[in-house]
């Protein structure tokens, strides 16, 4: 039996007035934008943390500290590539990704196929290994008041 590793990722960012939002590397027209030190792509941050977690490599803040100006407005694909490089060095492959958005808007179902395809491309895996879904918080808390977006990610890595 091949060695397997499970990782969990979680990230959250505030919303403010804007014209678009970037989720899983996809630019989506929206009346708000996410606030963060980097590009605030909450989906890629959560996925990156899940990979780091599965490998026992800490978290996003360890590798890309938010107080380091080097990462100001950085494209989150850079962060994901770092995690994927660790994964390849340790000879793991992604078996599957399950990513859940927690938000009222935008409606993730309208964009999930594009996000799925983009994550598959970025991770060099087949789209069927990536699942994107969403839930609301029924008007409760900061996500329910449309003040932010949270994402949970689970990932299974298998030794090559």
Residue holding tokens 């850079």? Answer: 78
Per-chain mean pLDDT for the chain = 97
pLDDT at 48: 98
In contact, 40 and 48? CB cutoff 8 Å: no
In angstroms, how far is CA 137 from the centroid of its own chain?
Answer: 19
Q: Check whether 1 has a pLDDT greater than 80.
A: no
Give the pLDDT confidence score for residue 94 in this predicted structure: 98
Percent residues over pLDDT 70 in the chain: 100
Looking at CATH, the fold of the domain delimited by 4-159 is given as: 60s Ribosomal Protein L30; Chain: A; (3.30.1330)
Residue 125 has a pLDDT of 98
**For residue 9, is pLDDT > 90?**
yes
pLDDT (mean) for 14-24? 96
């Amino acid at each position: 039996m091949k060695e397997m590793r499970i990782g969990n990722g979680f990230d959250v960012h505030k919303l403010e007035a804007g014209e678009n939002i970037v989720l899983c590397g996809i630019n989506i027209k929206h009346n708000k934008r996410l606030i963060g030190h980097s590009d605030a792509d909450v989906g890629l941050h959560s996925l990156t943390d899940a990979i780091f977690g599965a490998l026992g490599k800490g978290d996003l803040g360890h590798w890309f500290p938010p107080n380091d100006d080097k990462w100001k407005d950085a494209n989150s694909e850079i962060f994901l590539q770092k995690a994927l490089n660790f994964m390849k060095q340790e000879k793991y492959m992604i078996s599957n990704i399950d990513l859940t958005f927690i938000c009222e808007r935008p409606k993730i179902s309208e964009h999930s196929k594009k996000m799925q395809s983009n994550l598959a491309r970025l991770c060099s895996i087949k789209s069927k290994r990536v699942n994107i879904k969403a839930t609301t918080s029924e008007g409760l808390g900061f996500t329910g008041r449309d003040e932010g977006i949270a994402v949970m990610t689970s990932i299974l890595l298998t030794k090559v």
